[in-house]
Amino acid sequence: MSDEDRLRALEQRVQALEDARGTGSAAPDDAGAAAAEPPPEPAAEAGPRDDTFWALEGLRHRADPDRGAVLWAGVVPADGGTWEWQMARPADELRSPDDPQHAADRLAALSHPIRLSLLLEVLDGTTRLTDLAERLGLGSTGQLYHHTRALTAAGWLRPGERGHVAVPGERVVPLLVILGASA
């Protein structure tokens, strides 16, 4: 990706964040909002509407046919609001990441069943560390610290006030996408 492309993507992301401020939701990423909306109703003479692949159709119109693209998106109720989030990336970039070790580290942090359970508990509203240790049946605070430290370093958790943690809003949909892809 050229510096100009990176700058354009960054400007789009900043604009999306500014547009979403005050709405209680995370901003859509650089795929554009239309990629996550069903297409308009077809004309009556066009026959019955089949919007099974509405996201794919939106992406197909935006993607470079020589590079392909992958889109992930979601609308997730959380913290009294809703996280609305989407991201698209050219397929060739995903096949050749700039830093494969970074991607491996993020995925490795999810590879332990206690860590995954911890994240799911936090998504379900249990955010106090002592409650998490109890719910997960951890025998020591050292175990909890070990797992929360790994998840925090990988960006899946964020420390909060007075012994609480949270899944950063921008990580909610990617986490659920990873879980869905592993099913």
Instruction: Quick: pLDDT tens for 118-160.
Output: 999 999 999 999 999 999 999 888 899 999 999 999 999 999 8
Full-model pTM:
0.67
What is the set of domains in the chain, with CATH numbers?
3-95 (no CATH), 100-182 (1.10.10.10)
71 DSSP β-pair partners? 88
Q: To the nearest 5 percent, what fractions of the chain are helix, strand and coil?
A: 50, 15, 35
78 Cβ contact partners less than 8 Å away, ≥ 6 residues apart: 123, 169, 172
DSSP structure class, residue 64: -
pLDDT tens per residue, range 27-83:
334 433 333 444 444 444 555 566 888 888 889 889 999 999 999 888 888 777 788
Contacting residues for 145 by C-beta, under 8 A, at least 6 apart: none
